[in-house]
Amino acid sequence: MKNLIVLSAVLLTGTVLAASPSDTLVIQSSAEVITLDPAAMYDVISAPVIVNVYEPLLTYPGSSLKQLVPALATKWTASNGGKTYTFDLRTGVKFHNGDTMTCADAEYTFRRNLVTNEASSGNWFLSESLLGTQANANDDKSITWARITSAAKCNAQGQLVLSLPKVDPAFLSKLAYVGQAIVDRKYAASIGEWDGTEATWKSWVGKDLSGSALNEKPNGTGPYKLVRRDAGNLLFTVHDSYWGDKPSIKNVLRQKVPELAARQQAFLRGDADMIDGGGRAVDEAQLKGKPGVSWVDDLPNTNTVAIFMNQNIKNSALLGSGKLDGKGIPANFFSDVNVRRAFSYLFNYAQYTKDVFKGQGTNLTMMLPPTFPGYDPKISVYKYDPKQAEAAFKRAFGGEVWKNGFTFTANYRAGSTSSQTALELLKQSVEALNPKFRLNLQPKQASELSTDAGKGMEPMTVLSWSPDYADPDNFMYTFYSSEGWFSLRSNFKDASIDRWLNQARATTDTAQRDKLYSQVGRRAHELAPVINLPQETKYLVYSSRLSGAPLTKAGYNPLTFLPWAELSKK
């Protein structure tokens, strides 16, 4: 209790702990947690916290990205040709406020996610599975209360039954996503959230939950519960009635410390156990090898990054003259495959890996992490080759590109060193190839860039993707389908790729899916819809006072983040 009082005082004053106690994990981050409501969560800042407060039905064991094991569900069966899933739920599970979890809570959770399904949340892919559409009832009038209640309901035996309109081989993986964690129906209604009834559901369709009552007062089944929050700082303590193994570390203090130098100093003094770093180059120079610092390298990275080339640009302000006259480009400039191939040959992959990752990176054959099923390492990759680029440009638009030249503007996310470096390297190569080529660069705020890219307004920009669930569909369909998340950003469409991706969605045969994704990857290399940027080799930096399987190469899992309950501190 004394430590908790001290930690609360630290939280309120915003000061930094000195010589953090052995029963307290201190985490310093550059940003505050966006939400503590699972239904609103769709970011990599909130997820590592929510995963310790709430729990989904299923999870991943150890470092595996392929195997699923019970969390709040103890077992499950598939029937009706893979379109109906029945879950036995764990008994004796308590929410932080003492309520006992029942099937009604799980039923409510999935219905709430389907009802709200706000555009900035991750519930679109749950709705896609259970209702056959990514939209909510405001945007798709075919969604009715009857459809929602039929999709998620409890049977007479107290089992949760989830029903799909068609087979979805990625469905179980989606249920391990932390945004599908189970919430307390009675508690949620008591603090002003949706009451779960037909009488009120329409007023909650598409509702923004980022500032919800559950965000302010979370109540999960996870091993840690929120004690208090202040000015972006959060204090958690162990959930005494937790159904699983009791955590070794009693308290967790997550502090917002915007300045990198301040975080580094606190870490090196032992005041913080884990911090947001400054990237490999900075962290190796400032932290690696210092007393009290542990470093684990060669960890799996599940993020992919690409330079997008928009084939139907809807922003004339970035196109100069709008013509192939050397003073601009037409809106369909990147619709010519030779233009896209030329730019792919002009990116200096080795230099980027050296400059950004200190040489610790891998060239990807497709926009899928190598750790995921379906990745084909035998597909060719583009390499920096100005001669190949020149030949491609001379074929583009009947030779007009090489003859007349071009000018356009590419935006990158302000503050993103890697994005800026990528486009600067490309600019250097492009302008060195032909004096008539001009690529102008300018920074843009992340929110504005994301919005404009989503409207097809950016000619060329750097965009990244982190997986929602451990299935290749979440990358391959997202990047390459004409109906995928990035489709409006690239306006790329290929009938063969669309057909293969839809076939991969319709079968649970792993070998067949792998074959189809390989075909997509090979076709994507041929058509070059995006420039595949090298993938960084991931690493962890943490206090040597910490230990636990998630901090080891054998136990680290990028999709479960770092479970606090599995860590110890001396």
Tens of pLDDT along 379-425? 999 999 999 999 999 999 999 999 999 999 999 988 788 899 999 99
Assign 279 a pLDDT band (cuts: 50, 70, 90): confident
User: Do 38-46+48-209 and 304-536 share a fold?
Assistant: no
d(CA 284, CA 539) in angstroms, rounded, equals 10
d(CA 537, CA 549) in angstroms, rounded, equals 19
- The tokens of 395 are what? 């074929």
Cβ proximity of 249 and 564 under 8 Å: yes
- Please give the average per-residue pLDDT across 64-83, as a whole number: 95
Spatial neighbors of 359 by CB under 8 A, at least 6 apart, are 353
- The tokens of 367 are what? 């926009």
pLDDT score of 7 more than 70: no
What is the tens place of the pLDDT at every residue in 487-542? 989 999 999 999 999 999 999 899 999 999 999 999 999 999 999 999 999 999 99
Tell me the pTM. Answer: 0.85
Residue 326 burial by Cβ neighbours in a 10 Å radius (0-12, 13-18, 19+): middle
Phi-psi region of 562 (alpha: psi -120 to 50; beta: other; left: phi over 0): beta
Q: What angle do CA 369, 287, 50 make, to 5 degrees?
A: 50
Class of domain 2-32+232-300+538-569: alpha beta
pLDDT score of 4 more than 60: no
Maximum CA extent, the chain: 77
Assign 445 a pLDDT band (cuts: 50, 70, 90): confident
CA-CA-CA-CA torsion for 262, 268, 270, 272, nearest 10 degrees? 40
- The tokens of 25 are what? 């994990």
Domain boundaries, the chain: 2-32+232-300+538-569, 38-46+48-209, 304-536
User: Which of 8-22, 143-157, 218-232 bottoms out in mean pLDDT, i.e. has the lowest?
Assistant: 8-22
> Average model confidence (pLDDT) for the chain?
94
Checking 119-122 for CB contacts under 8 A at 24+ apart, the result is 119/206, 120/40, 120/42, 120/208, 120/210, 121/39, 121/40, 121/41, 121/42, 121/179, 121/209, 122/41, 122/42, 122/177, 122/179, 122/468
- The tokens of 87 are what? 């879950």
pLDDT score of 563 more than 80: yes
d(CA 346, CA 385) in angstroms, rounded, equals 6
d(CA 381, CA 384) in angstroms, rounded, equals 10
Please name the residue that has the structure tokens 């920074």: 443
Cβ proximity of 138 and 18 under 8 Å: no
**Per-residue pLDDT at 9:** 55
pLDDT score of 266 more than 80: yes
- The tokens of 292 are what? 């009290």
What is the tens place of the pLDDT at every residue in 43-52? 888 999 999 9
**Per-residue pLDDT at 87:** 98
**Per-residue pLDDT at 165:** 97
pLDDT score of 559 more than 80: yes
**Per-residue pLDDT at 6:** 54
**Per-residue pLDDT at 10:** 57
- Please give the average per-residue pLDDT across 329-345, as a whole number: 98
Assign 18 a pLDDT band (cuts: 50, 70, 90): low
Cβ proximity of 439 and 427 under 8 Å: yes
**Per-residue pLDDT at 280:** 87
Alpha helices (runs of H) in 131-211, residue ranges in sequence order: 145-151, 171-175, 185-190
d(CA 16, CA 19) in angstroms, rounded, equals 10
Class of domain 304-536: alpha beta
- The tokens of 164 are what? 């799909």
Per-range mean pLDDT, top range of 326-335, 355-364, 450-459, 551-560: 326-335
Q: What is the topology classification, in CATH, of domain 38-46+48-209?
A: Dipeptide-binding Protein; domain 1 (3.90.76)
Strands 84-89 and 73-79: antiparallel
**Per-residue pLDDT at 98:** 98
pLDDT score of 247 more than 70: yes
For residue 557, the one-letter residue type is N
What is the tens place of the pLDDT at every residue in 106-135? 999 999 999 999 988 989 999 999 999 999
pLDDT score of 37 more than 80: yes
